Amino acid sequence: MIRLQKNNHLRLLKNGLQYFPALEQAILRAQHEIYLQTYIFEDDETGRRIAHALKQAAYRGVSVYLLLDGLGSQFLPNRFVQDLRQANIQVMFYRPVRRFNYFSKNRLRRQHRKVAVIDGAIGFVGGINIIDDFNVPDDASPRVDYAVEIQGTMLLHLTQSVHRLWRRLSWFQWREIPQQFIKPTTKLASHLRPIKSALVLRDNVLHRRDIEQAYLDAIARAKYEIIIANAYFFPGWRMRNALVEASNRGVKVTLLLQGRIEYWIRVATHAFYAAFLRDGIQIYEYRRSFMHSKVAVIDSEWATVGSSNIDPFSLMLAREANVVVLDQTFANELRESLLQSIQDGAEQVSSPAWIKGNLFRRLLSWLVYGVLRGLIGLFGYGREWQG
């Protein structure tokens, strides 16, 4: 059971259109330290814009610590990284991909969090990488994603988490460990509305199931509505059973999933369609662009925004960060945004059409499902993801 903290102020940021200006302004106002963790940092217009802001901060004497994932950011040009380092920005890669470890099962233990903390006074958590919203194939519409701007008591946990991870990785990579850290500003300004929320982290040691359990607890308490929007949806048996049980007790369960095939795990998702549809779960596929969201709203009161997909790679292998919120105003804002995405760019999967038709797609989905199950078993997680 997660512990919700009072006296937080959260602002929902929709897509890079809202997130990147907010992040950039926070960086430009920084006076002491900046910690930025991301899976992908792209050398495009957005990446160069954020990099410029980071360099300007470093030139002012701000300590800047940039943590990139070794797989997600493996194609970031060396000249780009060296330019950051020459500006006195500390750049570190989490588990760089090398030839000798390319086929290691630990290769998939990634740093998938998208987190920023500036001066211990403002933070950001979400699913948005440092990549342009329009960096999508086929000149599609911008990808759909979310982040949360954070002030208040939750900053203590967030700041401690980025400090702790940087120290640990610095020790392993024989780097100098920062000796001083900024104490977070946890007191909420009087003009800001307090919200109950919690930072939920996932790692491979003490918090392996925290994010999954937060979902399961909320689903078990759902009374009338569950909306989940998730880019890579490949749930284990616990999550599947929880959703089916919720639907059977009268809860309206709606899944907004990625309609465009980007990775094979999306094909495996189709293996669950028939069973979900038979139990009354509504499935929508977002086709207007790429839907990169990792969010949910339950009973217009509970909500989560973060980096964690509902798949074995996020829930069992990667470092992830989600924010859980208990607030009707915040939840309704996210809910309305999701319903708008369904209306503007999604197609509902029809139960009769899917179950009676799509024979080839269903056979392919089960084939890919079997391959992924085998890989999960190879990593030693087969029993946990059975079903």
Report the CATH number at residue 160. 3.30.870.10
Q: Which helix (H) or strand (E) holds 185?
A: none
The whole-angstrom separation of Cα 227 and Cα 201 is: 21
The whole-angstrom separation of Cα 122 and Cα 19 is: 13
> Where in the sequence numbering do the catalytic residues fall?
112, 114, 119, 292, 294, 299
Residues 85 and 225 in one domain: no
Tell me if residue 249 falls in helix, strand or coil: coil
Residues 230 and 105 in one domain: no
46-72 burial, b at 16+ Cβ within 10 Å, e below that, comes to bbebbbebbbbbbeeebbbbbbbbbbb
Number of domain units in the chain: 2
Average pLDDT, integer, range 314-325: 93
Residues 299 and 361 in one domain: yes
Work out the number of other CB atoms within 10 angstroms of the CB of residue 108. 15
Average pLDDT, integer, range 217-226: 98
Average pLDDT, integer, range 45-68: 97
Residues 112 and 236 in one domain: no
Residues 140 and 219 in one domain: no
Work out the number of other CB atoms within 10 angstroms of the CB of residue 178. 14
**Terminal Cα distance for the chain, rounded:** 25
pLDDT at 372: 63
pLDDT at 69: 97
* Residue 339 domain-assigned (yes or no): yes
Boundary-marking domain end, from 122, 154, 172 = 172
Whether residue 139 has pLDDT greater than 60: no
* Residue 177 domain-assigned (yes or no): no
Residues 127 and 204 in one domain: no
Residues 209 and 340 in one domain: yes
Looking at per-residue pLDDT, the higher value among 42 and 190 belongs to 42
Whether residue 292 has pLDDT greater than 60: yes
pLDDT classification of 312: cutoffs 50, 70, 90: confident
pLDDT classification of 173: cutoffs 50, 70, 90: confident
* Residue 261 domain-assigned (yes or no): yes
pLDDT at 386: 47
The whole-angstrom separation of Cα 90 and Cα 88 is: 6
pLDDT at 378: 55
pLDDT at 77: 97
Residues 154 and 33 in one domain: yes
Tell me if residue 270 falls in helix, strand or coil: helix
Whether residue 385 has pLDDT greater than 80: no
* Residue 188 domain-assigned (yes or no): no
pLDDT at 325: 98
Strand partners of residue 199: 323
- Stated length of the chain: 387
Q: What percent of the chain has pLDDT over 70?
A: 85
Boundary-marking domain end, from 172, 207, 223 = 172
Residues 149 and 255 in one domain: no
* Least confident interval from 47-61, 90-104, 198-212, 231-245: 90-104
pLDDT at 7: 94
* Least confident interval from 242-246, 267-271, 297-301: 267-271
Looking at per-residue pLDDT, the higher value among 23 and 102 belongs to 23
pLDDT classification of 234: cutoffs 50, 70, 90: confident
pLDDT at 369: 61
Average pLDDT, integer, range 8-12: 97
Residues 265 and 149 in one domain: no
* Residue 180 domain-assigned (yes or no): no
Average pLDDT, integer, range 50-59: 98
pLDDT classification of 335: cutoffs 50, 70, 90: very high
Q: Which residue do the tokens 């120290």 mark?
A: 167
Average pLDDT, the chain: 89
- Mean pLDDT: which of 50-59, 139-148, 274-283, 356-365 is highest? 50-59
Tell me if residue 344 falls in helix, strand or coil: helix
pLDDT classification of 265: cutoffs 50, 70, 90: low
Strand partners of residue 116: 36, 124
Residues 166 and 206 in one domain: no
Give the residue numbers spanning the domain of 249.
198-378
The whole-angstrom separation of Cα 369 and Cα 125 is: 31
Whether residue 255 has pLDDT greater than 50: yes
Closest of 193, 186, 236, 195 to residue 215, by C-alpha: 236
The whole-angstrom separation of Cα 113 and Cα 91 is: 16
pLDDT at 103: 52
Average pLDDT, integer, range 25-30: 98
Residues 221 and 334 in one domain: yes
For the stretch 73-81, contacts whose Cβ atoms lie closer than 8 Å and that sit 24 or more positions apart, written own/partner, are 73/38, 73/39, 73/40, 73/41, 76/41, 76/42, 76/43, 77/43, 80/43, 80/47, 80/51
pLDDT classification of 387: cutoffs 50, 70, 90: very low
* Residue 185 domain-assigned (yes or no): no
* Residue 372 domain-assigned (yes or no): yes
pLDDT in tens, 102-128: 556 667 789 999 999 999 999 999 999
Average pLDDT, integer, range 190-208: 92
* Residue 181 domain-assigned (yes or no): no
